């Protein structure tokens, strides 16, 4: 009986190695991580911009803070900055004027353009250069993620479930 138990234990271990014993996947490179995080936060924020009701674009959590529309414009100001800086151009984090983008379609269209421009600039950065410096990309990702959290609150205050929190189909 002892031999049988030993045999079963050995077979179970070997079976486990066969199932779980695959070589560990190499961690993503710095460039892969930056690209993935940049794409992810932009995708989520753009989805929010498209999803939030047009008649609520002027909603503010309190009178002292930016409206939903102003926050989205503020966020894509970071993308505009990243596009310029990523191409090696002189860039300051200049605020785009929210008054320039008055309607939901104008905001969404400008955001899509800013994402396309900044993503193209990021993809043009050699992976070797990103492994040496993640500027300005990490700052823009962090900034965007902070405002993503703010906009989740705007959704919740309006009794709307944010797109990322909805059940996946």
User: Domains plus CATH for the chain?
Assistant: 40-165 (1.20.120.450)
- Rounded Cα distance between 45 and 76, Å, is 10
The two tokens of residue 23 are 């070589």
User: Has this prediction a pTM greater than 0.85?
Assistant: no
The pLDDT, as a whole number, for residue 2 is 56
Is residue 124 helix, strand or coil? Answer: helix
Lowest model confidence (mean pLDDT) among 17-21, 23-27, 93-97, 137-141: 17-21
Q: What is the pLDDT of residue 10?
A: 45
At residue 94 the predicted structure's pLDDT band, cuts being 50, 70 and 90, is confident
More confident residue, 142 or 12: 142
Q: Which of 42, 118, 44, 101 is nearest to 67 (CA)?
A: 101
| pLDDT 10s digits, 16-68 | 444 455 778 899 999 999 999 999 999 999 999 999 999 999 999 999 999 99
Integer Cα distance of 168 and 152 in angstroms: 17
């Amino acid at each position: 009986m002892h031999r049988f138990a030993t045999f079963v234990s050995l077979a179970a271990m070997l079976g486990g190695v066969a199932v779980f014993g695959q070589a560990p996947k190499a961690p993503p490179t710095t460039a892969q991580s930056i690209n993935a995080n940049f794409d992810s936060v932009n995708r989520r924020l753009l989805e929010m911009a498209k999803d939030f009701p047009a008649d609520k674009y002027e909603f503010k959590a309190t009178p002292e803070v930016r409206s939903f529309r102003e926050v989205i414009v503020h966020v894509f100001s970071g993308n505009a900055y990243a596009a310029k800086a990523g191409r090696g151009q002189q860039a300051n984090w200049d605020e785009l004027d929210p008054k320039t983008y008055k309607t939901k379609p104008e905001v969404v269209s400008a955001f899509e353009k800013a994402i396309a421009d900044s993503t193209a600039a990021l993809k043009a950065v050699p992976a070797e250069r990103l492994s040496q410096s993640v500027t300005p990309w990490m700052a823009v990702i962090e900034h965007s993620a902070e405002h993503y959290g703010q906009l989740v609150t705007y959704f919740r205050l309006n009794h709307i479930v944010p797109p990322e929190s909805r059940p996946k189909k």
